[in-house]
Chains A and B, each alone.
Chain A
Amino acid sequence: MKELTFPGGVHPPYSKDISIREPLREAPLPSVAVVPLSQHIGSPNQAVVSKGDVVEEGQLIGSSPAFISAPVHSPISGTVKEIRKAFHPALGPVMSVVIERDKSKEAKDYTQEDVDAEALSPEQIIEKVKDAGIVGMGGAAFPTHVKLNVPEGKKIDTFIVNGAECEPYLTCDHVLMTRKTQEILKGIELIAKVLKPKDIYIGIENNKKAAFFAFQKAIKKATRKVLSDIHLVPLHTKYPQGGEKQLIQAISGREVPPGKLPLDIGFLVQNVGTINAVYEAVHMRKPLIERVVTISGDCINRPGNYLIRVGATIKDIIEQYGIELYRDPEKVIVGGPMMGFAQPTLEVSVLKSTSGILFLSENLAKTPPEEKCIRCAKCVDVCPVRLLPTELMNNVKNGNWPEVRELNVADCIECGSCAYICPSRIPLIQYIKEGKEVLVRKKMR
């Protein structure tokens, strides 16, 4: 079958071999969970518990009346020790609920209950997704129920399941796709019931053959039309293939217009992890309190894919799982190496959107000094949204803001391909982000 892709992009070393054949390991429960109250794009939550409260696993601990918001639940049973600011991997300190685990209590068993998913209306499914606090698990963390709530007058023609996983090192989606194929398909059915799309696609990069074959087999065997009609498409392995706009372009050839959302042209994209969470919320009444996290890099002895509770700190994970740092990491990255965040401390919690924790040595993650631009235009060649990164950089440096706007700085998806490819090691997206921020500020004035 022809591998689909988009123009531009880069081929970083994928480094997935480190963890791709590792099983899905059940990780021990954390002794303390530090749960940030806000883990999504949108309005922050307020705590609904207070210091000293005894909480059950899965109990609501934070919510917000705002529409673009997703509640948070207690990942373990225990006592609320305090509510304080704690380190969030992308945002810095945010209000968090600190829960000490009650060691006498086992993890809750979410056996498949007798939920009649067939009987649920689209509204009821969205309600369950909302109550479970599901957000996009591919990294952006946009509340899923908001995405599923298609505004009046809009129609989703094409539902795309994102199994691209284009970030190097990360294999969490791969193991999920191979181990939870049936669950993901059931999740797809639920979402299809809400959206009623004409076409459903599952896109998987060709370096994840096992996941591709798992779906191929399952779709062939499927008896229900909605599943047997799914188009399973192999994608060329290229970063940022898993970007929403790039995936839509690869599969349909269509480009999402500037300032518009995929739904404006009839598309909706969901990551496989999110779809699995939808399945668990509806069929198992399980809120989003744990996820698969890839732990990898060249500094640790037990790389793998772990099912980890939200709120577990990196420090706790290393200690409890017997992970040994046999050499000093230069950087600890939450997420992938292309778009993830370097952490100053290990006292940082796993979030609903944490796909990986990478321990990279100096050999792999050094920050080389910035040199002069030689105008080789490699950044221009790789930009998936056809920007001119070098021109943007020059105009940001010179404070030429009208020109920065003229160069469509707002279109940047911040994938980092330009900075990856730059032979002069110029942190191009840093300049571009600065340009974006200045323009937003100027418009407000």
Chain B
Amino acid sequence: MKKLAISVSPHIVSPVDTRYMMKGVLIALLPAICAGVWFFRLRAVGVILASLAGCVVTEYLLQRFRGRKIRIDDMSAVVTGILLALVLSPAIPLWMAFLGGVFAIALGKEVFGGLGHNIFNPALLARAFLMAAFPVALTTWSRPITLDAVTTATPLGLAKFDGVMTPYADLFLGNIGGCIGETSSLAILLGLAYLLHKKVIDYRIPASYLLTVFVFAGVLHLVDADKFMPPLFHLLAGGLMIGAVFMATDPVTSPITARGRWIFGIGCGLITMIIRIWGGLPEGVMYSILLMNACTPIINKFTRPRRFGLEKGRKA
């Protein structure tokens, strides 16, 4: 008989490992990727590949030069690359998408110590950087299914600045201007169903985020239906869906406690709506998530669960 292995219990482990989780995210992203490629054709493919290349190459080089184990196979850089591309305009120059990928990994992840140590969602941090550096390129939107240079506005922009309402069917299916991945709410909801089914994410953040936006917009719409868009419009337009499903749920940068996840989602919803309604920008999803990322450590600290065996209301 060969030598018996010794280890501490438990001796069996769940089949869900980090690779399974990353693959789960990638599979869940497929409908959104397909919708983006369908509506924006080769432009979308180009942006996705450029962003992916920026992320993966940077991760490889940094780990190589720092003499660390190469961890490309944990797939986290691939997830970041795709997520970044999905929140960029299909009209963005490819070199900018590549630069965004470099930024996401170098300054979004590796400077903090790599996977698990970053405070901000790397894809969103990179998008914020691109937004600050190249505001015009980031907000130049192409019309779906056109490869020419005709530009358009997003439904949120149209609503906010021109008071024009986009039909719900277009918003739901994705036949609208906007980022590659945020175009189709249907595709993102399919991804959400898969993530929940495979237990890759917890329902609390997307539920509280979407619900907060719905209630906030609903109350305003009730107060003044002429001035404020209906709640369903706010749910379907812009980056809310992709943000609530794929960005806010990033395990690394969201709270670890159940109560904390509720607070995180509600906070994202409030900030999104404040920016959308009163801010100078049509959209607030990216900033809402980045700002709540910054709050995650303090949320964790103040939402520690009640100690087992102590009655409610008593401190541990």
Main secondary structure on chain B at its contact with chain A? loop
In contact, B256 and A377 (Cβ under 8 angstroms): yes
Contact partner, A386, options B252, B255, B307, Cβ 8 Å? B307
Separation of A341 and B10 alpha carbons in the complex (Å): 9
Do A364 and B12 have beta carbons less than 8 Å apart?
yes
Asked whether B18 lies within 8 Å of A419 as measured between CB atoms, the reply is no
Once A and B bind, how many residue pairs between them come within 8 Å at the CB atom?
151
Residue interface mask A242-268, B partner, CB < 8 A = 1: 000100000000011110100000000
- Give Cα A427 to B300, complex, Å: 22
Question: B1, B11, B307: which contacts A342 (Cβ < 8 A)?
Answer: B11
By the criterion CB–CB under 8 Å, are A381 and B202 in contact?
yes
Min Cβ gap B82→A in Å is 17
Q: How many residues of chain A have a CB within 8 Å of chain B? A: 64
Complex Cα gap A391–B303 (Å): 13
Alpha-carbon gap, A399 to B305, bound state (A): 23
Main secondary structure of the interface of A (DSSP, over half): loop
Asked if A338 and B9 make an inter-chain contact with CB atoms under 8 angstroms apart, the answer reads yes
**Contact: A424 with B17, CB < 8 Å?**
yes
Which residues in window 7-54 of B have CB below 8 A to A? 7-14, 16-18, 20-21
Least distance between B297 CB and chain A CB atoms (Å): 11
Q: A256-B309, A375-B251 are in contact. Are A367 and B7 (CB under 8 A)?
A: yes
Max chain B CB contacts within 10 Å: which of A372, A378, A408, A430?
A: A372
Interface residues of B in 241-258 (CB under 8 A from A): 251-252, 255-258
Knowing A12-B14, A411-B307, the reply to whether A423 touches B21 (Cβ < 8 A) is yes
CB of A10 closer than 8 Å to a CB of B: yes
Nearest-CB residue, chain A, relative to B16: A423
Residues of B within 8 A of A341 (CB): 9
Bound CA–CA A387/B309 (angstroms): 12
Does A429 count as interface, using CB distance less than 8 angstroms? yes
Residues of A near B252 (CB, < 8 A) are 374-375
Binding site for A on B (CB under 8 A): 1-2, 4-14, 16-18, 20-21, 74, 76, 114-116, 202, 251-252, 255-258, 300, 304-310, 316
Top 5 nearest A-B pairs (CB, nearest first) are: A377-B256, A416-B10, A257-B309, A385-B308, A376-B251
A residues whose Cβ falls under 8 Å from a Cβ of B = 10, 12-13, 168, 245, 255-258, 260, 325, 328-333, 335, 337-345, 360, 364-365, 367-368, 371-378, 380-381, 384-388, 390-391, 407-408, 411, 416, 419-425, 427, 429-430, 433
A-B contact pairs, 6 of them (CB 8 A): A258-B307, A368-B17, A374-B21, A388-B256, A420-B13, A424-B17
